Amino acid sequence: MSPQPTRVVLFIAGLTVSLLCPGLRAAGDGDTGLWVRQATLVSPDAIDRLVEEASDAGFTTLLVEAPLAPSASTTPARRRRGRRPRVFDGIQTLLTAAHRRGLRVHAWVQATLVARTGDLATSSSPIVRQHPEWLMVPRSLAVELARLDVHNPAYVEMLDKWVRQHPGEVEGLYQSPLIPSAASDAAARLAALLTRYRFDGVHLDSAQFPSSDFDYGRDAVGLFRDEIAPSLASQERRLLDGRAAIDPLTYPDAFPTEWSRFRRSRVTALVARLGSVVRRHRPGARVGVSVVADPDEAHGRRLQDWRTWAELGFIDIACLQPGFESGDDFERQLRSARQRAGGADLWAAIGARWLSPFETFDRIRTAHRLGTDGIMVWSYESVTDPTQQPPGHLQQIGLALATVPTR
């Protein structure tokens, strides 16, 4: 783009912000977060540029992808001779650079998602390779997979095929919150991450079910059966057990309300446990969670009782997940969430990567007007990519974010 059109774009963007956010240069001390992909942390220069741009734009917090288990694809192969090469530690470099500029850094970790679609066939996740019995199973595969040994390669292959055929429904393979050993493993891996890095907070993503059509895995359903069976008369229990030997859906279908409550309670238990890990290893660090804005969607289809999490102090931040909602829906969701946030701070996540500059600024204005405690912009990579947004877009967003209210 030539200099003249660039200046025109920046002038229009700046004028738009000024009109939408009067008094935007009166900086507040609310939380303003910028989501960052781990792939951006490739070199000291790239990290210095990220930190400088985020700081200059007025952001207070960087939320960076931080996997709970190291990826085998980034681990150098062993050499037959010589010393093992030193691996560049992007996260530690970011922490040092960000703290030097006064920025906080939160680890963005996946509570249940263990392998994204596209990475499954050669997944580096130890969970997929070593513990396929921990993976969530969709209802439509329950009968078929119940007949297979979980360590049969066909087991994961069927799950892999299913998620590839349903890209609009799931992001990949998920670890079940219903299985105690899986929850213990997630807690141990988070503890290891926090022992290694001095994060200022942890943000839990995928702390929910992909939908209420999960988890119909053999072990998960067996745990539900063990919980519900003692309350049944012996004759009814024998009858249901006989049916369950043929149809693994027997107990969930016989007790749908209890089945939903059981799964929802296990998600709550996982969030509480991971939050305890954070507070034990990093006293003073904040615990945030990505939450579904629509209350019926959250509580029903996603089995995410985040209102209870906020009321009981399991979380410090409830961050509404960004989506493709209209401006009116965005405002309605914020108003509703404000009533359910309890003692937790409410953050509005703005998917700037999917929005025009005007739509981004409009949502910032709405979030400011409704008194949110913070705003997270998604994501650094998209708003600084000149093929997606006009040059200088991050700086203009920073000007708009200056109106985020004080806490």
Cα–Cα–Cα angle for 213, 111, 52, rounded to 5 degrees: 130
pLDDT at 258 over 70: yes
Tens-digit pLDDT profile for residues 11-36: 344 444 444 443 333 334 579 999 99
96 or 9, which is more confident: 96
402 or 296, which is more confident: 296
Tens-digit pLDDT profile for residues 63-84: 999 988 543 322 344 444 556 5
Query: If you average pLDDT over residues 40-62, what whole number do you get?
Result: 97
Residue type, 296: D
| pLDDT in the model for residue 32 | 95
| pLDDT in the model for residue 50 | 98
Alpha-carbon dihedral of residues 280, 283, 289, 295, nearest 10 degrees?
A: 90
pLDDT at 373 over 80: yes
Parallel, antiparallel or unpaired: strands 201-205 and 317-320:
unpaired
Tens-digit pLDDT profile for residues 101-115: 999 999 999 999 999
List of residues 6+ apart from 371 with CB closer than 8 A: 338, 405
Write out the two tokens for 115: 């392998």
Neighbours of 56 (CB within 10 A): 12
Write out the two tokens for 13: 């963007």
Element (H, E) at 9: helix 3-20
Q: What is the rounded distance in angstroms from the CA atom of residue 273 to the CA atom of residue 287?
A: 11
Q: What is the rounded distance in angstroms from the CA atom of residue 174 to the CA atom of residue 249?
A: 20
Write out the two tokens for 284: 């003073």
Average pLDDT, the chain: 88
Residue type, 239: L
Write out the two tokens for 64: 């960076």
Report phi then psi at 326, rounded to 5: -75, 170
CA–chain centroid gap for 195, Å, is 21
| pLDDT in the model for residue 95 | 99
| pLDDT in the model for residue 322 | 87
Tens-digit pLDDT profile for residues 332-363: 999 999 999 999 999 999 999 889 889 999 99
| pLDDT in the model for residue 228 | 98
In order, the DSSP letters of 239-276 are HHHHHHTT-TTHHHHH-HHHHHHHHHHHHHHHHHHHHH
Q: What is the rounded distance in angstroms from the CA atom of residue 63 to the CA atom of residue 374?
A: 13
Among the residue ranges 8-12, 42-46, 100-104, 279-283, the one predicted with the least confidence is 8-12
Overall CATH class of domain 31-75+87-394: alpha beta
30 or 374, which is more confident: 374
Q: Is the dihedral of CA 287, 380, 401, 319 positive or negative?
A: negative
DSSP SS3 for 101: coil
| pLDDT in the model for residue 6 | 40
pLDDT at 269 over 90: yes
Q: What is the rounded distance in angstroms from the CA atom of residue 192 to the CA atom of residue 190?
A: 5
Tens-digit pLDDT profile for residues 203-256: 999 999 999 999 999 999 999 999 999 999 999 999 999 999 999 999 999 999
Q: What is the rounded distance in angstroms from the CA atom of residue 207 to the CA atom of residue 88?
A: 30
| Burial of residue 64, with CB atoms counted within 10 A of its CB: 0-12 exposed, 13-18 middle, 19 or more buried | buried
DSSP SS3 for 179: coil
pLDDT at 288 over 70: yes
Beta partners for 349?
A: 376
Tens-digit pLDDT profile for residues 160-205: 999 999 999 999 999 999 999 999 999 999 999 999 999 999 999 9
| pLDDT in the model for residue 30 | 72
pLDDT at 3 over 50: no
